[in-house]
Amino acid sequence: MSKESKIYIAGHRGMVGSAIWRQLSQQGYTNLIGLTSSELDLKDQKAVAEFFATKKPDVVIDAAAKVGGILANNTFPYQFLMENMQIQNNLIDASLKNDVKKFIFLGSSCIYPKLAPQPLKEDYLLTDSLEPTNEWYAVAKITGIKAVESIRKQFDKDYVSLMPTNLYGTHDNFDLNTSHVLPAMIRKFHEAKENDNAPVTLWGSGTPMREFLFVDDMAASVIFALENKLPEHLYNVGTGVDLTIKDLAELIQKVTGHTGEILWDSEKPDGTPRKLMDVSKMHELGWKHKVELEDGITKTYHWFLENINSFKQVKMS
């Protein structure tokens, strides 16, 4: 790929898409394309086809998806299944029909079976049943992976799927009703610190283990896939290191400067005991994460503080 290659980033305003855009710009790529959902509805097959026929991108990075937590997935299963398939199918099919040279499809570790052995290897895909609370989203993403694989097999195109572990970082979602565990903890500890270091109550026992990847490292993995021809169709992207939720809480407490008590509400669910990615395939190719967890949390907290006024309309619950 040259620095002038026309690169379309679907979902360029999200946490992942915006990180990819920033890094491509910093590395001298000059021909980036990004459209908001009001400018191009990715669920509209005709509109997507017209966009591709007109703009003729060389590369497509699919960071667009309908996402949400357990409650949203359970409440709107049809939308999570259908809208994600519409988005990715339109992008993948239009890319194939318009001879897009490289397509990078982004997914999630939830594609793997609920009870798959740890750490999660790419080979475990479709070997057992999924986690019921997000299977609709997972099934959609699996169809995207299979579409990419089938195009490689049938048309020998340089299309690849990258499956990240839990992502966090700047431009994250800090809404306590919809955010994931790490940004939610940052907000809770910060607001408790501001409230005379009040106690912070967290869900579950604190014993489940989770892996976290800073979003700039995810963006770097996408650029690695862009600049190299990867030999297989599916790769995990993560750190290969996890920690307990209790350890995570204590690390975030340290970074935010909260000195109060941490309380655990054991009546609330813990979720999956462990979800660690095997990232040996990416390591063998030469990509590895650079941002360690404490440094990443510190960067994320600083960004949170700089943008705190945009979070204040949602009261802490």
* Residue 99 assigned ligand-binding role: no
Clarify whether residues 61 and 22 are in a common domain: yes
Question: How far is the C-alpha of 105 from the C-alpha of 109, rounded, in Å?
Answer: 13
Q: Which CATH number fits the domain that encloses residue 257?
A: 3.90.25.10
* Residue 141 assigned ligand-binding role: yes
Clarify whether residues 17 and 38 are in a common domain: yes
* Residue 270 assigned ligand-binding role: yes
Clarify whether residues 102 and 153 are in a common domain: yes
Is there a catalytic annotation at residue 124? no
Q: Which CATH number fits the domain that encloses residue 48?
A: 3.40.50.720
User: 95 versus 203: which is more confidently predicted?
Assistant: 95
| Residue 102 contacts residue 58 (beta carbons within 8 Å) | yes
Is residue 2 a part of any domain in this protein?
A: no
Clarify whether residues 160 and 12 are in a common domain: yes
Active-site annotation holder among 29, 137, 168, 301: 137
* Residue 12 assigned ligand-binding role: yes
Is residue 317 a part of any domain in this protein?
A: no
Domain that holds residue 186: 181-209+242-275+292-309
Clarify whether residues 58 and 140 are in a common domain: yes
Question: How far is the C-alpha of 5 from the C-alpha of 43, rounded, in Å?
Answer: 25
Give how far Cα 87 sits from Cα of 11, 43, 91, 101, 216, Å.
Answer: 10, 5, 6, 19, 24
Q: How many domains does the chain have?
A: 2
* Residue 187 assigned ligand-binding role: no
Clarify whether residues 72 and 196 are in a common domain: no
Give residue-wise pLDDT tens across range 109-168: 999 999 999 999 999 999 999 988 889 999 999 999 999 999 999 999 999 999 999 999
Is residue 102 a part of any domain in this protein?
A: yes
Clarify whether residues 42 and 112 are in a common domain: yes
Calculate the average pLDDT of the chain. Answer: 94
* Residue 222 assigned ligand-binding role: no
Give residue-wise pLDDT tens across range 190-235: 999 999 999 999 999 999 999 999 999 999 999 999 999 999 999 9
How much is the pTM? 0.94
